[in-house]
A and B are shown apart, each in its own frame.
Chain A
């Protein structure tokens, strides 16, 4: 069973601060990593994916991947109250079912004004 672990939070940051969300995974051979945002009562929405070691930036979001440490993180710069949501880390299955995702339980982020 592939494990995806996230710090459960809740994480609370003031508006304008950097929010840092962390995730570790058990399958050393995993190749594809995703961050989803889920507002309360809504479905997950993809915000970033990363395949290569290093950083990937998209607007206020930066995903960081370290395959040697089996660690992936998401940084949110200039956090806004609208960023308040649960952030789900997901790892793609390497087996025959392309696209099958293993999710962590999510980190709840609250950005207060």
Chain B
């Protein structure tokens, strides 16, 4: 595709609900990152995939957060039993990652509001 796409763009959940956020990276991009951006803050790393392998999940804030990329393309970030502190914009980024100069391209993000 032309760029990284994410869906839904907006999600309102009641506290305790489960949510699933989808990321479609640029075709052929090996690396995929998820970041969380709270209001007024910079993005914070959540997790990283190289193809289908989740190589780093050290940024996931709790075991309620789970991410997968089973076929090395589309990725899903799932949050179970959402809490108000999960309210943020969730950004997905992808890159070719053939060299360390590759640009990370960000998707438009999913704004999650937990009531």
Using a CB–CB cutoff of 8 Å, the interface residues on chain A facing chain B are: 4, 32, 42-46, 49, 88, 90, 92, 96-106
Using a CB–CB cutoff of 8 Å, the interface residues on chain B facing chain A are: 31, 33, 35, 40-45, 48, 55-56, 91, 95, 97, 100-109
CB <8 Å contact, B107 and A32: no
A interface majority secondary structure: loop
| Cβ contacts A to B, 23 pairs, < 8 Å | A32-B100, A42-B108, A43-B106, A43-B107, A43-B108, A43-B109, A44-B106, A46-B103, A49-B101, A90-B42, A96-B56, A97-B48, A97-B55, A97-B56, A98-B100, A100-B33, A100-B48, A101-B33, A101-B35, A101-B45, A102-B45, A105-B41, A106-B41
A-B pairs, top 8 by smallest CB distance, nearest first, are: A103-B42, A43-B106, A97-B56, A105-B42, A103-B43, A44-B106, A97-B48, A105-B41
Most chain B C-beta atoms within 10 Å of own C-beta, residue among A90, A96, A101: A101
Q: Output the least CB separation between A45 and chain B (Å).
A: 7
